[in-house]
Every structure is written in C-alpha cells, then in structure tokens.
C-alpha cells in the first residue's frame, strides 16, 4: 500500500468487516519473542515504527502507539502524529488506555497467540468497566490486509554440538525431568524459542540476528520430548542428533496436542507462553501449573564450555572492533562517511574473521543527534553524514558459534567539547562502578543499578534505560532473567538474584536530545569473589569485552585514583587479549590508545 495512512485505513475497514470496534497490535510473535521474524513484524508494517518494543491500538476514530523511554524520540520520527497518538509506558498501560478510550459496548479484538493470559485478564477487566468486550480473533486482521506479508522462514535447523554447548540435550532433558518430578508434574510446555534451542542443542535462522528456529516443545516427566517444527526444516543429521527420545511433529500439530492432557499436570510459563496455549490446555482438561520455564535459569548459568567459547568470541570480535575504530579515526575527519557506510565497514571487519554467523542485532551507528536515540536503527532514509565536531556512537555485536557479543564505543570526530568530555567521563565512572562492584549472594540487579547512575545524578543527569541485560551463549543478545535496572525500567523484571555464571552487559549512558549520545558497554561475567575475612559468600564481575575506551574523551581530573587504576589495568588487558590478533600497524595504534593515564 502506498502509505502508512492507507494501511491504517485498510485495517479499519477490515475491522468493520470483522464486526470489531478496535484491535490491539503488539510487537511480538507466538513465542513472546523480543526479536521476531519478518512475518511477525505487524507493528512496523502498520505504523512504520522500527523499534524492538512497542504496541498499538486502533479504534474507529483514533489510534495510539505505546513505547517506553528508549523510543521517545524515535517513535516521533518514524510514526505520523497525524494518525497516531504517542503514549508512554509504563506510565500508561494499554489496558488503562482502552478503559478510557474504547467505545461503550465496543468489541475490541486481540490475537490470543500474541498476548499473555495476564494481559488478557487485565484488558478484559478494564474494558468491562465500560461495558466493552475483549474478543479473541481466529485470524489476525492485519494479515488479511497485508498483501505482501513474508512467509515464515523455511531455513533448516542447525546442530549446536555438545562440545560448544557443554552439555548434551539428553542431560539437559534429564534435569528438566528431575524438575518435573519435584513438582509432581507430567510435562512442561516450552514455547520460548531460545529455551527450545538450548534444551535440544539446536539453532536456526528464522529470526534475524537470533539463531533460533520457529518451534514448540513439550518435555515429559520421563525425559522424552515432543518437538513441533515444520518437517522440511529437519535434516537427517538433525534427526540423528535429536535421537529416538525426541518425537518430531509438524508445528501445526502443537495446539491439538495441548488438548490431549486431560487430568495431567502440565507446567506452563505465564510470562513466556501466550494465552492461546493456556486456552488449549484448559480446553483439554489439563491441570495447569503456572511456573517459570525451567530452562530460563539453567540457560542463564553458563557452564565452563560456554564461558570459554564466549571468551574466544570476544577476543576475535574485539580485534575486529579495534580495526574498525582505527579505520574510523583515520577516515571520519576527512569527510564522506555516513552512519550507513560506517556500519557496513564494521560488518566487513567482522566478516573478515571468517566465522561470523550474523550480527547479534542491527548495528546502532549513530552520529550527532541520532546518538541521543538509545535504540536508533540506521536506515538509508535516516543515515546522516558523519561530520566534524560530532560524537559517533556505535553499539554492535556478532553471533559466532562459540559466543554472542555486544559492545558500545563512542568516538569523537575532530575535537570534542568540554561538555562532551565531562558527560563521557561521568558515564565511564558509572561503568567502572559496576565493573568493580562486590556484593553478597542474593543481590539483584536492581540493587546495583544506582551505582552506575550516581556520577550523573550528582550533577542532575540520568539516562532512560536499564544499565545491563543478560546475554545468551550463541543465542539471544537480550536474555533473562538477570538484569541491572531499576524495577520500573522497561525490558522486564530486574529482581532476579545475580548468580555466578551469568553474562550481563554493563552499559550506562547519557543522551542530550538533538545533540549527542554516550554509552560505554562491555559484557561481564558474574564470578565468586574470595575476600579475606569475609563472613558471607560474595560475588563480583569479570569483564569479558576488550576494546579501548577513547582516551581523548576522558577528563582524568574527574576520576579517582582507584578508577584510574581500573582503567589502566583494563587497557593493559585489552593489549594482551587483542593485541596478538592484530597486524603490527594495528597493534601500534592500540598501544597508543591503551597507554596509561597518569
């Protein structure tokens, strides 16, 4: 269709045909994924919004798009104010908005394969107060008016070998069976794509930048399992890898299979399983145990093989990033670079490793005002020229068979202002505060988050996103349940106790709207800390990412002696880990970038 206004009009006409007075459009898929395949990008198709989190509501005479603080600027750039009201979450929920705006007695549609049961109950309650009704649709009305909607990926499954995984699928399923036995349950439904990939030691290509396959699974109390996946995606090698204890079914057989558990106790995750799964289990007479997917925490606690693989991936990825930073410093001041061309060059450096599987997310290549958009996505239309006097922020990562990386660095183009250097140094102080934190077992990310903000708070500044997210092992670059964030920040809960073996990001930032953005991001590993005289078990972080932090942006006078000590030690480690992978010319550049600061 020729415009987003036309698409909105077409959807409203379809809603009339479906006898609906409104429809809710989330940005997710049937697995409650954060990143989704092209076939599930309904929100982007309808509105033009390119962020990774958001929702919309369409009513006969008004429409609203809901985004959190990470996308306040971006949504206004990409979505027309002529057609859409901008609503911030979590200050306002979709249910609360519907309760005020839905027509009295109206029928508001939702796709039960795209929402949790808790959301359905909240929305239904809010609508009931207006005499309105929440109606589950059999067919998503957007699909009816999306003429060139992509088909789901038909890519075949790949095997994650046991050496890289650190544990066989049989061993993992045996642990799930033990978990079921403890709860006197007969089976557990796995619907999160990364849980399935981890449990069966398989990977896929069905979602851009996340190596997962579209599938569902049921693991039974005896350790056997049923995997529901399009049969053309399963090669003979994958069948042999899965073995006889895993029965393979067409993905379309999943919903009917859920109705065959009459009288059985079936565990299902209320955060990760959609309402339709609960509805099908209810229809079949199952006894539902609302419990967190047992893979979630097991997957977050990385084993020695996964940690070793990640460190190898970080070293090669760090070398690729160093080559890019050197190239950028030499090239950008001459002019002619754009955000898009810089992102393409960074991808090329990673490709030159010869083992890059994919990027781990769309590179955030942002100069000047675009740097102030935390989750900016560069496109041909938005790509700005990189000019003197600007800060260039690049947040990027790679997917390798042995690890998933995510790193952010900021580079000046020419001379940086005193304000830029002050803000950069305060962000660095917050970064160091997290990197050097020592805390007792049982501490949550929410308790640590303010460590990173204090240097900014001291001068009346802050940033509108969490400080850290979990990261998978050749899986999703955003992985729960661990986070470093205030409980009210978007992206999920941050009240999970941190445990040794978890990967997280450490990424405080600062953003001046319309001018520049700063973020310094490394990945870290939660490790046990041995402290002489300690009266309880203590934890801390081991930094995993190695790339220079731009020294010309640092004001040493703002750093304490301990912070300078950390920075100089970190840069010596960068030289050790990455230097051996560089040419002599590249290494000499890195030596200068990593020289100690007095």
Q: Using 50, 70 and 90 to split pLDDT, how confident is the model at 487?
A: confident
Cis peptide before 90, with omega less than 30 degrees from 0?
yes
Q: What is the CATH number of domain 4-145?
A: 3.40.350.10
Please check whether residue 51 is in contact with residue 86, taking contact to mean a CB–CB distance below 8 angstroms: no
Q: Using 50, 70 and 90 to split pLDDT, how confident is the model at 91?
A: confident
In this model, does residue 518 exceed pLDDT 90? yes
Give the tens place of pLDDT for each residue, 401-453: 999 999 999 999 999 999 999 999 999 999 999 999 999 999 999 999 999 99
> So what's the pLDDT on residue 345?
98
- At residue 525, the 3 state secondary structure works out as strand
Please check whether residue 252 is in contact with residue 94, taking contact to mean a CB–CB distance below 8 angstroms: no
Give the tens place of pLDDT for each residue, 425-434: 999 999 999 9
Tell me the mean pLDDT in the region 292-320: 98
Percent of residues, the chain, with pLDDT higher than 90 = 94
**Superfamily of 158-294 according to CATH:** Creatinase/prolidase N-terminal domain (3.40.350.10)
Give every CB contact of residue 39 below 8 A, 6+ residues apart in sequence: 149, 150, 151, 152, 153
- At residue 153, the 3 state secondary structure works out as coil
| Pick from 469, 471, 473: nearest CA to 519 | 469
Q: Locate all alpha helices (DSSP H) within 133-230, ordered by sequence.
A: 141-145, 162-165, 169-182, 193-200
Q: Using 50, 70 and 90 to split pLDDT, how confident is the model at 494?
A: low
Tell me the mean pLDDT in the region 566-593: 98
> So what's the pLDDT on residue 462?
97
In this model, does residue 305 exceed pLDDT 90? yes
Q: What is 301-593's CATH number, 1.10.3720.10, 3.50.70.10, 3.30.540.10, 3.90.230.10? A: 3.90.230.10
In this model, does residue 488 exceed pLDDT 80? no
> So what's the pLDDT on residue 490?
57
> So what's the pLDDT on residue 74?
87
Average pLDDT, the chain: 96
Give every CB contact of residue 3 below 8 A, 6+ residues apart in sequence: none
> So what's the pLDDT on residue 489?
60
In this model, does residue 1 exceed pLDDT 80? no
- At residue 276, the 3 state secondary structure works out as helix
Q: What are phi and psi of 387, to 5 degrees?
A: -125, 160
Assign residue 447 a region: left if phi > 0, alpha if psi is -120 to 50, beta otherwise?
Answer: alpha
Q: Range(s) for CATH 3.40.350.10 in the chain?
A: 4-145, 158-294
Q: Range(s) for CATH 3.90.230.10 in the chain?
A: 301-593
Q: Using 50, 70 and 90 to split pLDDT, how confident is the model at 493?
A: low
Tell me the mean pLDDT in the region 235-251: 97
| Pick from 85, 212, 69, 65: nearest CA to 153 | 212
Give the tens place of pLDDT for each residue, 15-68: 999 999 999 999 999 999 999 999 999 999 999 999 889 999 999 999 999 998
Tell me the mean pLDDT in the region 106-118: 98
> So what's the pLDDT on residue 146?
97
Give the tens place of pLDDT for each residue, 157-196: 999 999 999 999 999 999 999 999 999 999 999 999 999 9
Tell me the HSE value of 478 on the side-chain side, using a 13 A CA sphere. 17
Q: Using 50, 70 and 90 to split pLDDT, how confident is the model at 2?
A: low
């Amino acid at each position: 269709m020729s415009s987003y206004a036309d698409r909105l009009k077409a959807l409203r006409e379809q809603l009339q045909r479906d006898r609906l007075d409104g429809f809710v459009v989330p940005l997710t898929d049937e697995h409650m994924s954060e990143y989704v395949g092209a076939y599930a990008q309904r929100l982007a198709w309808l509105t033009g919004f390119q962020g990774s989190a958001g929702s919309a509501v369409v009513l006969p005479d008004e429409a609203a798009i809901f985004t959190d603080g990470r996308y306040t600027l971006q949504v206004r750039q990409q979505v027309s104010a002529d057609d859409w009201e901008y609503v911030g979450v979590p200050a306002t929920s979709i249910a609360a908005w519907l309760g005020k705006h839905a027509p009295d007695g109206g029928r508001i549609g939702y796709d039960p394969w795209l929402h949790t049961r808790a959301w359905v109950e909240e929305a239904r309650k809010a609508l009931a107060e207006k005499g309105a009704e929440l109606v589950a649709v059999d067919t998503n009305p957007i699909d009816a008016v999306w003429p060139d909607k992509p088909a789901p990926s038909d890519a075949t499954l790949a095997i994650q070998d046991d050496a890289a995984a650190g544990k066989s699928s049989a061993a993992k399923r045996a642990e799930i069976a033990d978990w079921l036995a403890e709860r006197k349950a007969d089976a557990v439904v796995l619907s999160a794509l990364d849980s399935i990939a981890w449990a069966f030691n398989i990977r896929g290509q069905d979602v851009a930048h996340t190596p997962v396959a579209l599938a569902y699974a049921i693991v039974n109390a005896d350790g056997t399992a049923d995997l529901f996946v399009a049969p053309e995606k399963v090669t003979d090698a994958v069948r042999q890898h899965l073995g006889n204890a895993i029965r393979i079914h067409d993905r379309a057989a999943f919903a009917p299979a859920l109705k065959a558990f009459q009288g059985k106790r079936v565990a299902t995750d209320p955060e990760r399983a959609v309402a339709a799964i609960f509805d099908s289990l209810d229809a079949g007479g199952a006894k539902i145990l609302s419990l967190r997917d047992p893979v979630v925490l097991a997957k977050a606690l990385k084993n020695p093989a996964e940690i070793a693989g990640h460190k190898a991936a970080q070293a090669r990825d760090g070398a690729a990033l160093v080559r890019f930073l050197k190239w950028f410093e030499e090239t950008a001041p001459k002019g002619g670079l754009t955000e898009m061309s810089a992102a393409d060059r960074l991808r090329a450096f990673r490709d030159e490793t010869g083992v890059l599987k994919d990027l781990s997310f769309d590179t955030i290549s942002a100069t000047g005002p675009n740097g102030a958009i935390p989750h900016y996505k560069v496109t041909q239309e938005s790509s700005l020229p990189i000019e003197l006097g600007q800060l260039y922020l690049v947040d990027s990562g790679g997917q390798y068979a042995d690890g998933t990386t995510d790193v952010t660095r900021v580079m000046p183009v020419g001379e940086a202002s005193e304000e830029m250097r002050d803000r950069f140094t305060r962000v660095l102080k917050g970064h160091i505060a997290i990197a050097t934190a020592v805390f007792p077992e049982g501490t949550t990310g929410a308790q640590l988050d303010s460590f990173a903000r204090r240097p900014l708070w001291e001068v009346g500044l802050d940033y509108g996103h969490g400080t850290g997210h979990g990261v998978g092992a050749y899986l999703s670059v955003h992985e729960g349940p661990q986070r470093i964030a205030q409980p009210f920040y978007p992206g999920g809960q941050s009240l999970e106790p941190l445990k040794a073996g978890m990967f997280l990001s450490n990424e405080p930032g600062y953003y001046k709207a319309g001018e520049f953005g700063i973020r310094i991001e490394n990945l870290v590993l939660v490790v046990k800390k041995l402290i002489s005289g300690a009266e309880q078990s203590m934890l801390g972080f081991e930094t995993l990412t190695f790339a220079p932090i731009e020294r010309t942006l640092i004001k040493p006078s703002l750093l304490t002696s301990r912070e300078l000590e950390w920075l100089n030690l970190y840069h010596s480690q960068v030289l050790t880990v990455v230097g051996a992978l560089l040419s002599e010319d590249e290494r000499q550049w890195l030596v200068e970038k990593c020289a100690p600061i007095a």
